[in-house]
């Protein structure tokens, strides 16, 4: 579904991604981990089209999308969420998901009708929220929700765009421990054929969710393998958590 080949990016003399290659199959869950400043979000910004690459290539379903703008990649099935929430805080969740569906199907350009006249759109929006256990909050604005629920609304917006590849940038960021299970449960209910890349510092989530893990350090791939492989890797443990750290 996704193939990244020798991707590099520098800011002045600082190389933030250094010859990074990775691939992702349909239905696979891939985690990107590494210390702060390892280049994880920069890599996702490059893959999603929010940041250009100095070198390398990005292929989505065998289509070279390296020079495509972000919105064109979205239409081709590559969708991302952000580390910092970007929700409209006063607009009910179902309306935000409905707007994403309107954007996807082109009806966003024909909105001078009552929203209740778009029955199928509202039904789909409700179905997406229900799948994430958010149906109870369909008519609640994010400003009135727990932060964990806000993060799930962002996932709902991404799913409304019908992605083939979903990039999740720290979905647990800012979420209290008491709401962490809510996020994990929702991620485990994502469609089985959806390819997912997740950036996350919560190792409990990473090892429960990921089929494969890529470790970045100083912008380069340090290690790739199964959760068990990464857990046993002495170099990863030393670089990421310190010599006494445990994965």
Q: What is the pLDDT of residues 80-125, one digit of tens each?
A: 999 888 899 999 999 999 999 998 988 766 656 666 667 889 999 9
Helix (H) or strand (E) holding 64: strand 63-64
Q: Which residues of 92-126 are buried (b: 16+ CB within 10 A; e: fewer)?
A: bbbbbbbbbbbbbeeeeeeeeeeeeebeebbebbb
Question: Cα-flanking dihedrals φ and ψ of residue 234, to 5°?
Answer: -65, -35
Q: Give the number of other CB atoms < 10 A from CB of residue 217.
A: 19
Q: Are 146 and 111 in contact (CB under 8 A)?
A: no
pLDDT digit of tens for each residue in the chain (247 aa)? 999 999 999 998 889 999 999 999 999 999 999 988 899 999 999 999 999 999 999 999 989 999 999 999 999 999 999 988 889 999 999 999 999 999 898 876 665 666 666 788 999 999 999 999 999 999 999 999 999 999 999 999 999 999 999 999 999 988 888 888 888 889 999 999 999 999 998 888 899 999 999 999 999 999 999 999 998 998 898 887 554 345 5
Q: Are 224 and 213 in contact (CB under 8 A)?
A: yes
Query: What's the pTM?
Result: 0.89
For the chain, which domains are there?
A: 2-241 (3.40.50.300)
How far, in Å, are 1, 23, 47, 113, 123 from residue 41 at the CA level?
20, 17, 10, 39, 34
- For the beta sheet containing 195-199, the strands, ordered from the edge strand earlier in sequence to the opposite edge, are 78-80, 165-169, 195-199, 29-33, 212-217, 220-225
Contacts of 204 (CB under 8 A, 6+ apart): 180
Give the 3-state secondary structure of 128-159: HHHHCCCHHHCCCCHHHCCHHHHHHHHHHHHH
């Amino acid at each position: 579904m996704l193939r990244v080949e020798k991707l590099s990016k520098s800011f002045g003399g600082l190389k933030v991604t250094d010859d990074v290659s990775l691939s992702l199959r349909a239905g696979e869950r891939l985690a990107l981990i590494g210390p702060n400043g390892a280049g994880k979000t920069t890599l996702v910004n490059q893959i999603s089209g929010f940041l250009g690459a100095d070198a390398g290539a990005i292929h989505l379903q065998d289509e070279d999308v390296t020079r495509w703008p972000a919105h064109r990649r979205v239409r081709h099935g590559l969708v991302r969420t952000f580390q910092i929430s970007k929700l409209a805080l006063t607009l009910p969740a179902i309306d935000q998901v409905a707007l994403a569906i309107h954007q996807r199907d082109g009806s966003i350009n024909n909105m001078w009708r009552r929203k209740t006249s778009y029955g199928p759109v509202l039904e789909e929006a409700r179905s997406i929220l229900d799948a994430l256990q958010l149906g109870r909050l369909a008519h609640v604005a994010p400003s009135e929700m727990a932060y964990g629920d806000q993060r799930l609304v962002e996932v709902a917006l991404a799913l409304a765009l019908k992605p083939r590849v979903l990039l999740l940038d720290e979905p647990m960021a800012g979420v209290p421990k008491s709401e962490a299970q809510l996020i994990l449960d929702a991620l485990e209910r994502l469609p089985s054929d959806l390819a997912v890349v997740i950036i996350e510092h919560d190792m409990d989530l990473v090892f429960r969710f990921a089929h494969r893990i890529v470790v970045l350090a100083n912008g380069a791939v340090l290690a790739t393998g199964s959760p068990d492989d990464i857990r046993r890797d002495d170099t990863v443990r030393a670089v990421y958590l310190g010599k006494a750290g445990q994965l």
